[in-house]
Amino acid sequence: MPTDPISLPIIEKLIGFDTTSRESNLDLIAYIRQYLDDFGIESRLVHDDDGRKANLYATVGPADRRGICLSGHTDVVPVDGQEWDSDPFQALVRDEKIFGRGTADMKSFIAIALAFVPQFLERRLRTPVHFAFSYDEEVGHLGAKRLVEVMKDMPVKPAMCIVGEPTSLGVIIGHKGKKKVRINVHGHEAHSSLTHEGVNAIEYAARLIAFMQGMARKWQNEGPFDDECDVPFTTMQVGLIQGGTAPNIVPKSCVFDMEIRHLPAVDPEALFDEIRRHAQDVIEPEMKAVAASAGFEFVETPPNLALNTDPDEPVVAFVKRLAGQNKHGKVGFGTEAGLFQQRAGIPTVVCGPGDIGQAHKPNEFITFDQLRKGEAFMQRLADYVCTKDLADGT
Ligand SMILES: [Zn+2]
pLDDT in tens, 100-142: 999 999 999 999 999 999 999 999 999 999 999 999 999 989 9
Distance 270 CA to ligand 1 centre (A): 28
Distance 73 CA to ligand 1 centre (A): 7
Distance 107 CA to ligand 1 centre (A): 9
> Alpha-carbon distance 354 to 244, whole Å?
47
Distance 95 CA to ligand 1 centre (A): 24
Query: Taking 80 as the threshold, does the pLDDT of residue 365 lie above it?
Result: yes
Residue length, the chain?
A: 394
Q: Which of 339, 337, 311 is nearest to 325 (CA)?
A: 311
Distance 111 CA to ligand 1 centre (A): 14
Distance 212 CA to ligand 1 centre (A): 30
Residue type, position 334, single letter: G
Distance 211 CA to ligand 1 centre (A): 34
Distance 194 CA to ligand 1 centre (A): 53
Query: DSSP secondary structure string, 115-174?
Result: HTHHHHHHTT-SS-EEEEEES-STTTSHHHHHHHHHHTT-SS--SEEEE---STT-EEEE
pLDDT tens for 131-186 read: 999 999 999 899 999 999 999 999 999 999 999 999 999 999 999 999 999 999 99
pTM tops 0.75: yes
Query: Taking 80 as the threshold, does the pLDDT of residue 1 lie above it?
Result: no
User: Positive or negative, the Cα torsion across 261, 264, 269, 272?
Assistant: negative
pLDDT tens for 324-362 read: 999 999 998 899 999 999 999 999 999 999 999 999 999
> Alpha-carbon distance 184 to 112, whole Å?
47
* Bridge partners of residue 160, in order along the sequence: 68
Average confidence (pLDDT) over 48-76: 96
Distance 335 CA to ligand 1 centre (A): 7
Distance 355 CA to ligand 1 centre (A): 11
Residue type, position 302, single letter: P
Distance 386 CA to ligand 1 centre (A): 29
Residue type, position 170, single letter: G
Q: Which residues contact 220 (CB under 8 A, 6 or more apart)?
A: 233, 235
Contact 192, 234 (CB under 8 A): no
Distance 358 CA to ligand 1 centre (A): 11
Query: DSSP secondary structure string, 245-310?
Result: S-TTEE-SEEEEEEEEEE-TTS-HHHHHHHHHHIIIIIIHHHHHHH-TT-EEEEEEPPPB--EE--
